Each structure stands twice: as C-alpha cells, then as structure tokens.
Amino acid sequence: MFEGQPQAELDAMMKGNNEFRQLYQRHKELDKQVLDAELGVLPIDDATLAKMKREKLAAKDKLTRMYDASHH
C-alpha cells in the first residue's frame, strides 16, 4: 500500500500514531484474508468477501488520509 513512500516515514507514523498502526495491521490482515479467499484457501461466502473488501478499502482510504495529513 504505501509503495514509493520512504519506509522511515511509515515506521515513524506507526511508532507515533497508535490508530495508524492498528489500522495498518488490520488492512494487512484483511488483504491476506481476501487474497486467501480469492485463491480458494479460505472458504467464505461472497457476501462476507464483499464486506471484507469494503472494510479493507475503507481502511486504506483512512490510512491514506492520515498519512497525507501528517505530511502537509
């Protein structure tokens, strides 16, 4: 998700902002679950998968806003 951004900046955000760190971890967790579901490794129904994708996107949007706000 923050490809092209300096790792040091991300590390600083995660150290200094508990909400950012928790949301980042949740996004990573959802990303793995969605990928596993799409590969057929994690058997879940379509409605649950759609809900997970929406939550993942919402987390990404919020993380992006938080990151941008800290750098402006």
The predicted structure's pLDDT at residue 66:
96
pLDDT digits (tens, 9 = 90+) for 11-69: 999 999 999 999 999 999 999 999 999 999 999 999 999 999 999 999 999 999 999 99
């057929």: which residue's tokens?
Answer: 40
Question: pTM for the whole thing?
Answer: 0.89
So where are the chain's domains?
9-70
pLDDT greater than 90 at residue 71: no
pLDDT greater than 90 at residue 1: no
| C-alpha span between 35 and 30 (Å, rounded) | 8
| C-alpha span between 3 and 71 (Å, rounded) | 16
Residue 66 near residue 17 (C-beta atoms within 8 A): yes
